[in-house]
Amino acid sequence: MQAITISIVEDLEEVREGLKNYLNLAQEFRVMDTFSNAEDAAVFLPELRPDIVIMDISLPGMTGIECIKKVKKNCPGTQFMMFTVYENDEKVFEALKAGASGYLLKKTDLPHIAAALKELHRGGSPMSANIARKLVDSLQKEEVLPNSESLTQRENEILHLLSHGLLYKEIAEKLFISVGTVSQHVHNIYEKLHVQNRTEAINKIRGKE
């Protein structure tokens, strides 16, 4: 069986060398090279093209996420496993958006890291359990107005009143503006939300599409 080739980008020497030595003990893996910073990794990874890069996020200088963005297009067959202490949603989503396919916390024990690397190589997306839970929780949160951020305060007010069934004339009276002004605001709302009518607009801001 051909070994899974690995590169490690990690600034802490004891972590980097410990991981390298552990993986090289197994026949399934071959660590091609290690890097203490993202700048060197960005230069050599496109030449090495390992199967998997174990990438720390917090590195001196360029971050691990920035490194992935820089090299991914030149490493089409390489998969990236984030290996970090960061558990916050922002870092998780930023890493996945950059092109990472897995996300492990540094407190993960070595046998589980090895298992996760094999899973990643087989096409999976291994993540530490609490990271996976964060993703699930985030996807399940329903934002009240997910598509209304581009609207002005007045447009949001009018959309809110539309959702309660008010007519243009009633909205105009309530906001002390003309019916024509209400009509123009509604036209702008429809354009920004890419909808054709009141029902579509209301459904969209409630996340029903």
Least confident of 80-89, 117-126, 173-182, 193-202: 193-202
More confident residue, 156 or 78: 78
121 pLDDT more than 90: yes
109 and 28 in a common domain: yes
Mean pLDDT across the chain: 88
For residues 195, 197, 199 and 202, what is the CA-based torsion angle, rounded to 10 degrees?
50
Q: What is the mean pLDDT of residues 28-45?
A: 97
Q: How much is the pLDDT for 139?
A: 59
Q: What is the mean pLDDT of residues 143-162?
A: 74
133 and 159 in a common domain: no
Strands 4-9 and 102-105, sheet pairing: unpaired
176 and 110 in a common domain: no
Q: Residue 194: what residue type? A: H
d(CA 26, CA 20): 10
205 pLDDT more than 90: no
Q: How much is the pLDDT for 114?
A: 96
Containing domain of residue 73, as a range? 4-140
163 and 136 in a common domain: no
CATH number of the domain at 111, please.
3.40.50.2300
d(CA 175, CA 158): 9
69 and 11 in a common domain: yes
User: Is residue 147 domain-resident?
Assistant: no
92 and 49 in a common domain: yes
95 and 195 in a common domain: no
User: Is residue 160 domain-resident?
Assistant: yes
Q: How much is the pLDDT for 45?
A: 97
The SS3 of residue 35 is strand
Q: How much is the pLDDT for 82?
A: 95
Q: What is the mean pLDDT of residues 175-182?
A: 92
Q: How much is the pLDDT for 12?
A: 95
196 and 128 in a common domain: no
CB-based contacts of 176, cutoff 8 Å, min separation 6 = none
Q: What is the DSSP string of 125-153?
A: --B-HHHHHHHHHHHH---SSTT-TTS-H
Spatial contact of 84 and 57, defined as CB atoms under 8 Å apart: yes
User: Is residue 89 domain-resident?
Assistant: yes
CATH number of the domain at 191, please.
1.10.10.10
- Last residue of one domain, picked from the residues 140, 166, 188: 140
pLDDT band per the 50, 70, 90 thresholds, residue 92:
confident
Q: Report the percentage of the chain scoring pLDDT > 90.
A: 58
